[in-house]
Chain A
Amino acid sequence: MNALLIAALLLVLLSVSYQMGWSRSRKLADTTGERLHSRPVYHGAFVAIWAILPALLVLGIWAIFSKSASEAYILSQLPPEVSTGPQGEMVGAIERVKSIANGFGVVGEADPTESAAASAYSQFRTLTTLVVIAVSAGLGVLGLFWAHSRVAHRFRARNSVETAVRIALIACSGIAILTTLGIALSLIADAVQFFSFVNPLDFFFGTVWNPRFQSTGADAVGQYGLLPLLWGTIMVSGIAMLVAIPVGLMSAIYLSQYADYRVRNVVKPIIEVLAGIPTIVYGFFALVTVGPFLTGIGNVFGLDIRATSALTAGIVMGIMIIPFISSLSEDILHQVPRAMRDGSLGLGATKSETIINVLVPAALPGIVGAVLLAVSRAIGETMIVVLAAGNSPVLRLNPAEPVSTVTVTIVNQLTGDADFTSPQSLVAFALGLTLFAMTLVLNVVALYIVRRFREQYE
């Protein structure tokens, strides 16, 4: 209710301030007949920005601090022994008071002190909310009048609005960059902590993965060799690419060069549906259908293929990745200038000669980019591998045997009740950092290649 009310107030403030700026500048132009520097919409937008920004700022600050403020207030209303007691009880008591105040009720009889605290908290909450709304509205109105007073003939409202738009855009792209940076930093911090337990050399070059959980042996640190996991990841992704690259590329060539546009309009979205299927569903599919099927085929030829193996996971992952390759490559093949195709056909080359000799070489950098993006997707894929790869972190060359990958191991190390101080769970961050670095490098390479491809035809 409160949020809705605040949003409504902000909207009113926004429209009123916009109208005020707009009509004032309009009036200026009409009464004096002099030309305005900026059109009325810009004056309106300028006033609206200055009215809404201070209001939003106050509300934002309150949103950050309201929780701790109200908890501090509740504590002050409760008997002093609560705040000196253990952390868990204190949080529980605060939650009870909040529930009573919100009218949800609590388990058991409410203590009189709790009821009193709740009603006091209720009042406190109403009061602070009112104060915050008043302050934010007041600042908003102040901003409104300040901006309103600046509206004049030569006032460059357009430039100010453009600046504001630019700042907003920069802020948005900054969020993406900051998030990446934040992820990297948090990974690095925890990974460094892990490396205080385990020698980085043992981690990066160790061939045995055996992180003994504390329950099995109290002081055992375990062995954290990355290589079995890395090999698993490489093998599963490799098999996936062996499936996805030929199939994806061929379907891209078919769609862009052979298919009638009507066929393409139907087939392309269907292929893209593959990318939209949740990976856990692919996991079922691998576990229930593909794995047993491969075992059956293996039996016919006298091969021992396990149902959950690198092969099963790789094949299903390859199918999942097909649309990444086919869709991107199709777009890229389409971008190859028609003149290039006509030139080759006009010399008497057949369609397939044209594709092999002219189109694919011309589109190759873009296709490589598509493949690399697909590889980074394969490396990061978890769910299919959890279900279908057998989860056996042993260094094996045979793809028909179970393996484990980096992502699966991260899941294993972090699920269950692990605390974040033991090497058993901290290793997950070192693994995550390794993955992050791998996919980052692949992405950078992909972007570089894609950019070079673009320059060729511009």
Chain B
Amino acid sequence: MDIVQDQTAAATVPGASTPAPAGEPAARVVTRDVSVFYGQKQALFDVSIDIPDRSVTSFIGPSGCGKSTFLRCINRMNDTIDGCRVSGIVELDGEDINRPDLDVVELRARVGMVFQKPNPFPKSIYQNVAYGPRIHGMTRNKAELDEIVVTSLKRAGLFEEVKDRLDQPGTGLSGGQQQRLCIARAIATRPEVLLMDEPCSALDPIATAIIEELIDELRENFTIVIVTHSMQQAARVSQKTAFFHLGKLIETGDTEQIFTNPRHEKTQDYITGRFG
């Protein structure tokens, strides 16, 4: 399963996702030779990785190493940036998501995203969570929508705190609550993959602990990819870890192996705090 960037030359054939060895979960997201350019500048170099189903994969690495950029390739959020170009193959369940005829709206419904800074809409808590189901026409009546909102809030561990004020603005919550609201909002569309871009970087340790616990629970139903600056967090929540450096994927493997016995010297340097 582990694909060190240097060894992927053979795996560049389109659709050539490696069959999963027995005992390992199947790969949900498979990328081959993904490069990203901002104008003339190349930000990401030939990243190939398999992201397993129903587990947490964390991307670590120093600032500006391309981990967020790569994360945004998985739901094509890079499309929204002027002058950004992506090459290579990104597959979700064996389907190339960069195909011109792919409906990006449908893709983003399947691949949810939680951002670095909590970004609730300036609407009520209820409206925030109902936003996704509503635009995707997932419900036929108010009762169904209520049901989705309540379940999502419950799964995000926020329901008990806000059940009496669902009509209050989401922006009035505390930072940690806002981030859980954003998670509830993301899982309300019932995505298969959940991308989290440094979801705890704006939060205090207590709020962070709550979110980490939540991530661990969500793992049962979702494929989660999390970008984090905190190596402790990566070690705590993820089963797989990928280390990025200067736009290149240096090493990926089981979290335990990466943190105890990294194969690559740069990984070793980074996790022991020698740079970054």
Do these two chains really belong together in a complex? yes
Residues of A within 8 A of B (CB): 260-261, 337, 339-350, 353, 357-358, 361-362, 456
Interface CB pairs A-B, < 8 A, 5: A344-B121, A346-B77, A357-B135, A361-B122, A362-B121
* Residue among B105, B112, B120, B182 making CB contact with A350, cutoff 8 Å: B105
Q: Are A344 and B131 in contact (CB under 8 A)?
A: yes
In the complex the two chains form, is A340's CB within 8 Å of B121's CB? yes
Q: Are B115 and A346 in contact (CB under 8 A)?
A: yes
B224 on the A face (CB < 8 A): no
Q: Given A342-B115, A343-B182, A361-B123, answer yes or no on A260-B108 (Cβ-Cβ < 8 Å).
A: no
B60 at the interface (CB under 8 A from A): no
A343 touching B75 by the CB < 8 A rule?
no
Per CB-CB distance, the 5 closest pairs between chain A and chain B, nearest first, are: A348-B108, A339-B119, A346-B113, A348-B109, A347-B132
Contact indicator A347/B115 (Cβ below 8 Å): no
Neighbour of A348 across the interface among B117, B132, B182, CB < 8 A? B132
Query: Hey, which chain B residues are within 8 Å of A344, CB to CB?
Result: 121, 131
Q: Does B189 contact A (CB under 8 A)?
A: yes
Q: Does B82 count as interface, using CB distance less than 8 angstroms?
A: yes
B261 adjacent to chain A (CB < 8 Å): no
Does B186 belong to the interface (CB within 8 Å)? yes
The docked-state distance in angstroms from the alpha carbon of A343 to that of B195 is: 12
Which residue of the partner chain, among B80, B108, B119, B182, contacts A337 with CB atoms under 8 Å? B119
B residues 61-106 touching A (CB-CB < 8 Å): 75, 77, 80, 82, 105-106
Which of A343, A345, A353 is in CB contact (< 8 Å) with B121? A343
Chain A residue with the shortest CB-CB distance to B117: A339
> With the chains together, A260 CA to B115 CA distance in Å?
25
Mark B113-129 against chain A: 1 for CB-CB distance below 8 A, else 0. Answer: 10101011111000000
In the complex the two chains form, what is the Cα distance from A342 to B136 in whole Å? 17
Taking the closest CB of chain A, its distance from the CB of B17, in whole angstroms, is 24
Contact of B115 among A261, A339, A348, A361 (CB under 8 A): A339
User: Do the beta carbons of A345 and B108 come within 8 Å of each other?
Assistant: yes
Q: Please measure, in the bound complex, the distance between the C-alpha atom of A54 and the C-alpha atom of B75, giving whole angstroms.
A: 71
**Contact A261:B82 (CB < 8 A) given known A343-B115, A347-B112, A348-B109:** yes
Given A260-B82, A343-B115; A348-B121 close (CB under 8 Å): no
B185 within 8 A of partner (CB): yes
CB within 8 Å for A362 and B122 given contacts A343-B115, A347-B108, A349-B105: yes
Most buried by B among A348, A350, A456: A348
User: Bound complex: CA of A89 vs CA of B146, how far in Å?
Assistant: 90
User: Is the CB–CB distance between B82 and A348 below 8 Å?
Assistant: no
Report the minimal beta-carbon distance from A89 to chain B, rounded to whole angstroms. Answer: 73
For B171, the closest partner residue in chain A by CB is A456
Measured between beta carbons, the chain A residues less than 8 angstroms from B132 are 347-349
Whole-angstrom distance between the alpha carbons of A353 and B135 in the complex?
Answer: 8
Inter-subunit contact B131/A346 (CB<8 Å) = no
Complex interface: chain A residues within 8 A of B77 (CB):
342, 345-346
Provide the residues of chain A in CB contact with B121, threshold 8 Å: 340, 343-344, 357-358, 362
CA gap between A349 and B132 in the complex, in Å: 7
Q: Which residues of chain A are near B182, meaning CB under 8 Å?
A: 343
In the bound complex, do residue A341 and residue B80 qualify as a contact, i.e. CB atoms below 8 Å apart?
yes
For residue B113, give the distance in angstroms from its CB to the closest CB of chain A: 4
Minimum CB distance partner of B118 in chain A:
A339
Can you list, as one digit per residue, whether each of B175-186 has a CB less than 8 Å from chain A (1) or not (0)? 000000010011
Check B122–A346 contact: CB distance below 8 A.
Answer: no
List of A residues within 8 angstroms of B109 by Cβ? 347-348
Which of the listed residues A261, A347, A357 has the most CB atoms from chain B within 10 Å of its own CB? A347
Q: Is the CB of B135 within 8 A of A349?
A: yes
- The CA-CA distance from A337 to B171 in the complex, in Å, is 13
Chain A hits for B117, CB < 8 A? 339
Q: Across the interface, name the chain B residue whose C-beta is closest to A456.
A: B122
- A135 to B189 Cα, complex, angstroms: 83
Closest CB in chain A relative to B152 CB, distance in Å:
12
Residue in chain A with minimal CB distance to B119: A339
Q: Chain B residues with Cβ under 8 A from A261's Cβ?
A: 82
Q: How far is the CB of A361 from chain B (nearest CB, A)?
A: 7
Residues of A contacting B120 in the complex (Cβ-Cβ under 8 angstroms):
343
Q: In the assembled complex, which residues on chain B have CB atoms less than 8 Å from the CB atom of A260?
A: 82
Q: Which residue of B lies closest to A364 (CB)?
A: B122
CA distance A348 to B171 in the complex (A): 21
In the assembled complex, how far is the CB of residue B182 from the closest CB belonging to chain A, in whole angstroms?
7
CA distance A361 to B122 in the complex (A): 8
Closest chain A residue to B132, Cβ basis: A347
* Least CB distance, A373 to chain B, in whole angstroms: 23
**Residue with the greatest number of chain B CB neighbours at <10 A, chosen from A344, A345, A346:** A346
For A362, what are the chain B residues with a Cβ–Cβ distance below 8 Å?
121-122
Contact with B119, one of A342, A348, A361 (Cβ below 8 angstroms):
A342
> Are A348 and B136 in contact, CB atoms less than 8 angstroms apart?
yes
**A257, chain B: closest CB distance, angstroms:** 10
